[in-house]
C-alpha cells in the first residue's frame, strides 16, 4: 500500500502512545480514522485534536479482550466509511515479575489484551477486509500487529509479557502465510518495538477491577516495574519515530518492523542457541547492569 489518501485506518489503543502517533501520521496522509481505546477521556481528547486538524474520525470505547467489542468496532467502521484498509492491532499492557509469582488474574489481563485483542482483531477484520476486496477489484489492505522485541527474546522477570508477545509474532507470521495461500490483496506486518517512551509502564491504571490481583505485590514485580519505567523513560526513539518507521514499512511491504534493529543481535544469539541445543542466551549479556539491578531488587530470599 503506497497511496493512503482517502483510505480507512482502524487503530486500537489509539488514544495514546504508539496508537496516537499512528493516528497522527495517518491523518497527515489524508486517511479516515477509526480509533478504539479503553480510556474514554484520553480517547475524547485525541478525537477532538484530530477533528480540529481536519481529519474524519470515528472513535469508540472498546475493550479488545472482548470479541463482541471488536466485532462492534468493525461493524461501525464499515457502516460509517464503507471499507477498512489498514488495521493496527496495537492495544497492549505490561506486567512483570518472576514468572511463578504472577497471579491468575495477571495472566488473564495481559493475555486478554495483548494476545486475545490481536486474535479478535485478526479474526474479525481479516474477514471484513476480504469482503471489501470482493466488492472492489482495486482493493489493497494491510494489517499491522504490535508485538515487541520481547516477542523475539525472553528477558527475565517479564514472563507474562514475553508469552503474550511471542504468541503475537507467531500469529502474525501465520497470518502472512495464510493470506498468501489464498492470494489475498492484504499484507501483514508485525511491529517489534524495544523500549519506546509510551504509557505502557503505567498500563495498570487501566486494569479492570474484576482482574485485580488478589495476591500481594512481590519484590520481583516491583523490581521489574522499576526497570521497565527507567528503560521506557530513557528511550531515545520516540513513538512518532516508530509511526514513521511503520508507515515506511507498509509502503515497502516489509513484514518485520523494528524500532531498534541493533537489538536483533540478541535475537540472533537466542536462535543460535536454539539451533545448537544450548541453554537460552542471556538477552541482557550486553547490558549486565540491567541484570544486576534486577537481582538487587529481587533479592535472594524468597
Note the pLDDT of residue 188.
Answer: 98
C-alpha cell at 262: 541493533
Running DSSP on this structure, what letter comes out for residue 201? G
Residue 26 lies in a domain: yes
The stretches in the chain having pLDDT less than 50 are: 300-302
C-alpha cell at 289: 547492569
User: In terms of C-beta density within 10 A (0-12 exposed, 13-18 middle, 19 or more buried), how is residue 274 classed?
Assistant: exposed
Catalytic site residue from 139, 161, 194, 258: 161
- Helix-then-strand count for the chain, H and E: 10, 7
Closest CA to 166 of 114, 89, 201, 88: 114
Residue 54 lies in a domain: yes
Give the span between the Cα atoms of 235 and 42, in whole angstroms.
23
Give the span between the Cα atoms of 96 and 123, in whole angstroms.
28
Task: Provide the domain limits for residue 60.
Answer: 8-298
What CATH number is associated with residue 47? 3.40.50.720
Note the pLDDT of residue 138.
Answer: 96
Give the number of domains in the chain.
1
Residue 245 lies in a domain: yes
Residue 2 lies in a domain: no
Instruction: Specify whether 139 is catalytic.
Output: no
Residue 229 lies in a domain: yes
Residue 1 lies in a domain: no
Give the span between the Cα atoms of 26 and 197, in whole angstroms.
20
Closest CA to 238 of 50, 28, 3, 24: 24
Question: Tens digit of pLDDT for each residue in 42-87?
Answer: 999 999 999 999 999 999 999 999 999 999 999 999 999 999 999 9
Note the pLDDT of residue 226.
Answer: 81
| C-alpha torsion sign, points 160, 164, 165, 170 | positive
Site of grid cell 505485590: 217
Note the pLDDT of residue 172.
Answer: 98
Note the pLDDT of residue 285.
Answer: 86
Note the pLDDT of residue 290.
Answer: 83
Using DSSP's 3-state secondary structure scheme, residue 61 falls into strand
Residue 3 lies in a domain: no
How far apart, in Å, are the Cα atoms of 117 and each of 109, 142, 227, 258, 276?
A: 11, 17, 26, 21, 35
pTM comes to 0.93
Residue 33 lies in a domain: yes
Amino acid at each position: 500500500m503506497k497511496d493512503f489518501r482517502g483510505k480507512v485506518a482502524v487503530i486500537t489503543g489509539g488514544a495514546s502512545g504508539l496508537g496516537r502517533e499512528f493516528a497522527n501520521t495517518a491523518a497527515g496522509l489524508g486517511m479516515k480514522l477509526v480509533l478504539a481505546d479503553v480510556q474514554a477521556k484520553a480517547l475524547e481528547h485525541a478525537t477532538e485534536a484530530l477533528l480540529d486538524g481536519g481529519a474524519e474520525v470515528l472513535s469508540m470505547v472498546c475493550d479488545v479482550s472482548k470479541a463482541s467489542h471488536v466485532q462492534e468496532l468493525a461493524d461501525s467502521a464499515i457502516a460509517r466509511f464503507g471499507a477498512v484498509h489498514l488495521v493496527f492491532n496495537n492495544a497492549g499492557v505490561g506486567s512483570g515479575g518472576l514468572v511463578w509469582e504472577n497471579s491468575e488474574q495477571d495472566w488473564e489481563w495481559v493475555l486478554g489484551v495483548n494476545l486475545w485483542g490481536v486474535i479478535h482483531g485478526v479474526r474479525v477484520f481479516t474477514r471484513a477486509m476480504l469482503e471489501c476486496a470482493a466488492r472492489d477489484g482495486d482493493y489493497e489492505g494491510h494489517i499491522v500487529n504490535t508485538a515487541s522485541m520481547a516477542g523475539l527474546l525472553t528477558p527475565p522477570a517479564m514472563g507474562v509479557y514475553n508469552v503474550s508477545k511471542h504468541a503475537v509474532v507467531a500469529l502474525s507470521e501465520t497470518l502472512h502465510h495464510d493470506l498468501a495461500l489464498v492470494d489475498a490483496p492484504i499484507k501483514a506486518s508485525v511491529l517489534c518495538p524495544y523500549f519506546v517512551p509510551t504509557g505502557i509502564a503505567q498500563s495498570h491504571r487501566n486494569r479492570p477491577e474484576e482482574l485485580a490481583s488478589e495476591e500481594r505485590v512481590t519484590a520481583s514485580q516491583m523490581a521489574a516495574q522499576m526497570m521497565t519505567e527507567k528503560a521506557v523513560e530513557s528511550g531515545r526513539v520516540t513513538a512518532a519515530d516508530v509511526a514513521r518507521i511503520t508507515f515506511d514499512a507498509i509502503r515497502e511491504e516489509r513484514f518485520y518492523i523494528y524500532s531498534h534493529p541493533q537489538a536483533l543481535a540478541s535475537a540472533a544469539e537466542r536462535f543460535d542457541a536454539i539451533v545448537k541445543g544450548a541453554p537460552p542466551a542471556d538477552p541482557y549479556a550486553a547490558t549486565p547492569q540491567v541484570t544486576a539491578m534486577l537481582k538487587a531488587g529481587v533479592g535472594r530470599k524468597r
